[in-house]
Amino acid sequence: MPDNVKLTLHPDPALPPGSMAPGQAAAGPATPEQTKITDALGRTLTLRELDVLEEQDLIGMVGEPLCLNRLYMARALEACSVAAIDGNPVAFPLTKAELRACFKRLRRDGLEAVMLNGMSEREKREKERLAVAKK
In a domain, 71, yes or no: yes
What is the secondary structure of 100-132 as a DSSP string?
A: HHHHHHHHHHHHHHHHHHHHHHHHHHHHHHHHH
In a domain, 30, yes or no: no
In a domain, 5, yes or no: no
Specify the number of domains making up the chain: 1
Domain limits at 99? Answer: 35-134
Question: Regarding predicted confidence, which is higher, 24 or 41?
Answer: 41
Whether residue 128 has pLDDT greater than 50: yes
pLDDT of residue 31: 52
In a domain, 100, yes or no: yes
In a domain, 69, yes or no: yes
In a domain, 114, yes or no: yes
Cα 11 to Cα 22, 23, 30, 57, 94, distances in angstroms: 12, 15, 27, 17, 18
The 10s digit of each residue's pLDDT in 106-125 is 999 999 999 998 877 777 77
